[in-house]
């Protein structure tokens, strides 16, 4: 289960705010991009999954710590590690780093939903080992 995945993310103007640093909610976007690439690396095509199996994902809860600010033009590394998985939801440990500095840490629980009813359903096999 302890498989790590990381994605490089560049900070653009759209990610910053007038406080001069990256807007706090932008990190949730960065972390979702990393989970999307994690899924792709494990062979999950979300478009195909939704079209054929009518399964989509939703974030259900998150504990997040913003430790240090990122700034415009920073090159960040965003990790995703599946920490726990079972039934209808999986829990990721994620970090956003700049070189060796940890900027943001989060624990993110993601559920599989039936795309028609938005009710929980079984996670695809990619989440289970």
Looking at the annotation, which residues are catalytic?
17
E runs forming strands in 1-127: 4-10, 55-66, 75-86, 89-98, 101-114
CB of 76 to a second copy, least distance (A): 14
Q: Which of 2, 25, 43, 117 binds a second copy (CB under 8 A)?
A: 25
**Interaction of residue 129 with a second copy, rule CB under 8 A:** no
Residue 71 sits at the vertex; the CA angle it makes with 36 and 31, to the nearest 5 degrees, is 15
CB of 59 to a second copy, least distance (A): 4
**Interaction of residue 128 with a second copy, rule CB under 8 A:** no
**Interaction of residue 14 with a second copy, rule CB under 8 A:** yes
C-alpha span between 81 and 90 (Å, rounded): 10
CB of 74 to a second copy, least distance (A): 9
**Interaction of residue 60 with a second copy, rule CB under 8 A:** yes
Query: Closer to a second copy at the Cβ: 2 or 47?
Result: 47
20 φψ region: left (φ > 0), alpha (ψ -120 to 50), beta (else): left
Give the contacts of 32 (CB within 8 A, at least 6 positions apart).
59
């Amino acid at each position: 289960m302890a498989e790590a995945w990381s994605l490089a993310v560049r900070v653009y103007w759209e990610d910053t705010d007038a406080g001069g640093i990256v807007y706090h909610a932008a990190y949730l976007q960065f972390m979702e991009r990393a989970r999307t690439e994690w899924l792709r690396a494990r062979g999950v095509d979300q478009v195909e999954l939704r079209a054929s199996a009518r399964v989509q994902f939703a974030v259900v809860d998150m504990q997040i710590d913003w430790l240090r600010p990122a700034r415009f033009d920073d090159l960040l590394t965003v990790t995703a590690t599946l920490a726990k998985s079972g039934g209808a939801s999986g829990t990721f440990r994620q970090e956003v780093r700049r070189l060796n500095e940890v900027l943001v840490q989060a624990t993110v629980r993601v559920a599989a939903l039936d795309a028609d009813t938005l009710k929980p359903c079984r996670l695809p096999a990619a989440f289970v080992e």
